[in-house]
Amino acid sequence: MSATAEKAELDREFTELYRLHLRDVYSYSYYRVGNHHDAEDLTEQTFLQAYRHFARALAESNGRPLRPWLIRIAHNLAANYHRDRSRRPQTNLEDAGVISAPHETEDLVEGREELTAVLRGVAGLPDDRREALIMRFAIGMDNREIARALGRSEGATKVLIHRAIRQLEAQLETEKEVGDE
C-alpha cells in the first residue's frame, strides 16, 4: 500500500473514531468544566491531540476500543484547564444565570433543585471518584473502559465507583436532613 493510500485509510479510520466518540468526549468535557464553550474547546483540543498520535495509538491498541484513550486525553486537558484557571481566576458569563420565562410547575422546580444538589455533590467528590462517576453515568463507559482511562485495575474501578456512589448518597442525605430542619 502506498504512503498516500495508508494516510487516506488512517484518515478514514480517524473520521470514524471522531464520529463514534464526539458526543462522549464533549459530554465528559462538559461535566468536567461546566460550560458549553469551554467543553467545545476541550473537545476540539482532544481530537487534535488524538489525531497527532492516532497511528501510534491504533498500533498499540491491539484491537481494543480507543474510547478510554480519548477520554484520558480529555481528562488530561481538563486537568490542565482547571490548573490554569486556578492560577488566574475569572468569572464566566454563564455563571451570571440565564434569563428565562418563569415556570409555574412545582415539580420542575423540585427537579431542578434535586439536579443542582446532585451536581453540587458530584463536584464535591474527590477527583478520582468524580471522574469515575462522570465516565460511568454521563457517558456510559463500562468498568473496563473506565479502568483503562484511569490507569487502574477493573476491580479497583468497581470499588471506586461504589465508594463514590455511597459518598454521594451520604452527602445528599445530609443535605436533605439539613434542609428539612
Domain ranges of the chain: 1-89, 106-181
- The Cβ of residue 142 has, within 10 Å, a number of other Cβ atoms equal to 14
Class of domain 106-181: mainly alpha
Q: 1-89 maps to which CATH number?
A: 1.10.1740.10
| pLDDT tens profile 73-132 | 999 999 898 888 776 655 554 444 444 444 455 555 556 777 777 788 888 889 899 989
155/16 Cα distance (integer angstroms): 31
Return mean pLDDT, the chain: 84
Global pTM value:
0.68
